[in-house]
Amino acid sequence: MRNGESQNQCPHCKQDIAKDKAQSAPKISQWLTPAQVQLLEYADHLDGPDLVKSLKLLHDITIYHSHEPLDEAEKDALFTVKGFWECIEKITE
């Protein structure tokens, strides 16, 4: 890093961060219930990639290996599971 009048400053050392560029923590409108806390504690002990593999396996078994037709509620549930594992994948990246 060079400093002085005509010298460059390290881009990682800037002290001035515009308010619109600064990230803030999301606001939580309510406290977590004991059941939500328990779920987060349980999920915290699981390995993210293994959890994603398990959810994908359940999804695929239900769709590709079941001989029973799926109704709309079951399709919605499978779509929710897919959204859940995609969120977990983003966290573990």
Which residue, 93, 78, 90, 88, is CA-closest to 44? 88
Report pLDDT for 78. 92
Q: Any idea how long the chain is?
A: 93
Report pLDDT for 26. 63
Ramachandran assignment for 21, one of left (phi > 0), alpha (psi -120 to 50 degrees), beta (any other)? alpha
Work out the pLDDT band at 25, boundaries 50, 70, 90. Answer: low
Average pLDDT over residues 18-24: 52
**Is residue 10 predicted with pLDDT exceeding 70?**
no
Report pLDDT for 57. 93
Which phi and psi angles does 35 have, rounded to 5°? -65, -40
The pTM is what? Answer: 0.53
Report pLDDT for 3. 47
Q: Which residues contact 82 (CB under 8 A, 6 or more apart)?
A: 59
Task: Provide the 3-class DSSP secondary structure of residue 55.
Answer: helix
